[in-house]
Amino acid sequence: MKPGQTQRTPWIVGVSGASGTPYAAAVVRALLEAGEGVDLIVSRASRLTLLDETGISFRDAHWDEDLREWLSRGADGKPDTFDIQVQDVRHWSPVDLAAGPSSGSYPSKGMLIVPASTACVAGVALGLSKDLLQRAASVTLKEGRKLVVTVRETPLNGQTLRHLVTLDDAGATVLPASPAFYAGATHIQDLVDFVAGRVLDAAGVEHTLYRRWEGELGGGSRPT
């Protein structure tokens, strides 16, 4: 780093193969809107899910183009009015185990895995580090940084529950992708934004993705 430069300290966002790629898009958009840097790891399995849910092929060689297309889609898969700027996103291939996030000396504020499949949960809980996403999560835990695991599966079997307890014991925040309806949801995107907002709450990042509970029944609407 040159004298006078400010060290970039991003949030690492890992996207695993579970259904729920709109959650990841909402989290990345909100991080960028909050002025946060993002290091993005899109697993090989998640690329199949992304293709199935949106029709978008995420390619390492054209990741910036594909990311803009992905982030411009609403939860229904259709183009929305999001203003997307991806200048402060850095993409890492999931097979690059020599990437920056594979080392504890690489600066980051923490890591958000959204969505997290049960296979990803197991790999992180067991410390397998079979790809960069799992390795980055292990590094996040060992360095004592914030790790939010947004598990997206139902029902949960005993083995997965034990893995989640292991992650909780290790200091991770286990955050199931459980939309709420009290925030005045009228569209699919409202439900997606509620989960994304809870992820950002756990990370300590300010946002306006959903209406917060104020102790009064009714009267909610989508924030603008």
Show binding-site residues for FMN.
17-19, 43, 152
Around 218, how many Cα atoms within 13 Å sit in the side-chain half-sphere? 0
Binding residues for dimethylallyl phosphate: 182, 198
Q: Cβ distance 18 to 193 under 8 Å?
A: no
Q: Structure tokens of 76?
A: 């229904």
Measured between alpha carbons, how far is 149 from 176 in angstroms, rounded to an integer?
Answer: 8
Measured between alpha carbons, how far is 222 from 43 in angstroms, rounded to an integer?
Answer: 32
Q: Cβ distance 31 to 200 under 8 Å?
A: yes
Binding residues: 17-19, 43, 152, 182, 198
Q: Cβ distance 63 to 34 under 8 Å?
A: no
Q: Tell me the DSSP string of 121-150.
A: HHHHHHT---SHHHHHHHHHHHTT-EEEEE
Instruction: Return the closest-CA partner of residue 110 out of 179, 175, 19.
Output: 175
- Return the amino acid letter for 116: A
Peptide bond into 101 cis (omega under 30): no
